Structure 1
Amino acid sequence: MSAIASIGARLAGDAGGRRVVSPERRRRRRVQAVWGLLILNVLTFFPGAPHLLPIPGMVGKLIAQASLPAALLLVLSVNRPARIRPSVWIFLVALLAAESLLASIGAEFLFGALFRAARLFLFVAVLWLLTPWWTRRDMLLLRTHLMFLWIVLGSVLLGVLVAPGVALTDDRLGGILWPIPPTQVGHYAAVATGLTTVLWLSGLLRRNLALISVLLAVPVLLLTHTRTALVALVAGVVVGGLSLFMSRARVRKSFAIGLAFFTVGALTLGSVVTTWLARGQDTEDLAALTGRRMVWESILAAPRSTFETLFGFGLSNKSFNGLPIDSNWLGTYYDIGLVGVAINVAMLLFLLTAAWFRPQGPRRALALFLVVYCVVASFTESGLSDASPYLLELTLAASLVYSGNSREGVR
């Protein structure tokens, strides 16, 4: 009878008419808040980008940076006493953080390099303290990530409605309520589209909801003119979908329809697609990868000692001589050397191997999408060696392929 009374009280509220929130729900909300703070931390404030709200640059950066220690305090409040799960992935990321600290000690801009290394250490600590929630059957962290991606995209769409001229500066869509460059908006739209698609292919998301989500996210991606995100999205969905091909009739049917649309589109809309991909650039610009090749060649030609070759020059803002590096592999080589590149390779190989040996199902498909997306994007985007959205998404992939028993997860 006491159990029945407890359930009744939980549903109907207490005697005062207030709604009773179960401890499990409070824990879940705090975990979601921790993940949201991590996303805010990597949602870098770009004061030079067009934006509407009168937020001073220092205030915006302070909000983004202060969210990380806030996330640490909050996760310690919900993971009490502190419990962690052993994880090869977390070990590799922690090793990357330790190597970045070693490289930053002798950096030219010592304070900035040490600050970024300390931030990476703190970031890894929060991720480690979230490992007890990796094995939940409801994939809480992944669904939370998707929810916050839609909050970010919602702010972008609201900015378009309020001031379309500002949001579409240079004909590329960016965030203007919180200044987000078009490349990052494209990244968030592509990941949201891919996760939604794979969840629907897995039978974990209703068709109407998935359709509405894709119809909103894909135009956002196209308006950003971010080619890397589009190519990575297609590659990730194809690989993730193929992992479900034999077990899901929905996947086989969707792939057949998609192939038919692709064939018809290639025959009828080839010139439109070519124009979109060219983005107003001539052959010389495309061959130079929009100026990236010049920066990459300069990095490779820069003189360095044996120590700098192995361990790099310390964590930077991913720029070289004032120009963005725009490559994870060249950025990692410049910042933390060949050792850092080797750790990055080990991180990706571990996730791919773990996904390969994971039983066929939604978790494996979602993890493969995230890993393939990050691998493709890494050639013209940076972020695998620093606190970034890419590191968050690869951590999600690690949680999906974790070999622990789901019944042991925190409830």
Structure 2
Amino acid sequence: MTTVYKPIEFVVDGLLAQGLYILAGAPKVGKSWLALDMCLSIAKGEKVLDQETTQGTALYLCLEDSYVRIQNRLYEITDEPTERLHFVIMSESIGSGLEEQIKNFKKEHSDLKVVFIDTLQMIRESTDNGYGSDYKELSILKCLADKLEIAIVAVHHTRKCSDSDPFNMISGSTGLSGCVDGSMVLVETKRGSRNAKLYCVGRDIENQEINLVFENSRWKVVDEVTAKEADFFSFAVHDFMLERNYFKGSATELAIMLSKILCKEIFANHIKKELMKHAYELQSYGVTFKSRRSNGQRVIILKYDKSSDTGDGKNLMPEAVKYTDPAVTEMSSEGSEKPLNTLFEGDYGNQKDKNSADPVRKATVPVCNSTDPVQGEKICEVRWTTLDEILNESARKIRSTLASQGIEVPPFKS
């Protein structure tokens, strides 16, 4: 389990990865508009459904349309088409030449990222809708997607009958859903309302229900998208190794050192998992690692080779890295949000004795407010506090802010 594999690449962040997918929906619900928008966004490297994309060539097999209709639709959603987006209105079927056509296209366009097939029924040879037949035909497309390291999305229809589980509405047997890496089902809340929900499930994506509205020929996300915390672990390991070239020590020792760089607590029992997770990326930065036992203890060995470093031997960590939980903030008197780790700067008079018993488990609040005089690195002080102290101090601060605006809020009675 220590072999380093190339990680699965997401074509649409958190939504569409390398592999085979189904995009299903009722006839004329707007599946083709969504497929065209995804293809165009990937080809241009722009966001789609509020998610980042990996730019590359996109191939759209619009087998139920004409070039005239596709051209009209394309200019409905953009004024600037891109040469990386290609259209085909006729193709061979599965097992009769389709795979060779896609392989040849990949040879001519090495940066191919996604192939949309609209619709699945147009490329099927068999008229049998049994489990075995469905699974066998789609497994050919899945093997092709895995071999070429691309995403293939088959546009498909749903049944007329409704179901509490939208994925049961996909036309055909469960062999379709069982074979693919992920399924997306577009369901209008009311026929013709242009409001819909996109249900997503897959092996490499989280189960999602995305509320959409169709505006200006595009499906747009209604929900507020939660920003993901940036992952700087590989940067931290790289910068740590720049001055050392070699490290041998325990996971605890490495965790302490990386915590200083990342300005947040890294747990020792997570170190090996994080190193394995980022191993492929670390190799591109010239860092390799091994984990073995020595004298009955687990030892981690890191090596750095500057000649293999795509970062040119320079520090990769941003100068100002702040890790703030957006769900736990306080409004300052100027109206800007302050992170939780600034709540206790100043008055500590009302804090409890740190040694007192408390039924609530204590939380760790890392605060970076000092500098290493030798290396000029930030040092993370770890202040221990209880959940009750956090809530009480937060309430006090909020009452104080409201009081400055003439609003009196009485203290809570315990």
TM-score clears 0.5: no
User: TM-score with structure 1 length normalisation?
Assistant: 0.20
Q: Determine which structure has more spread, i.e. the larger CA radius of gyration.
A: 2
Higher strand content, 1 or 2: 2
Q: Which has the higher contact order (CA 8 A, sep 6+)?
A: 1
Higher helix content, 1 or 2: 1
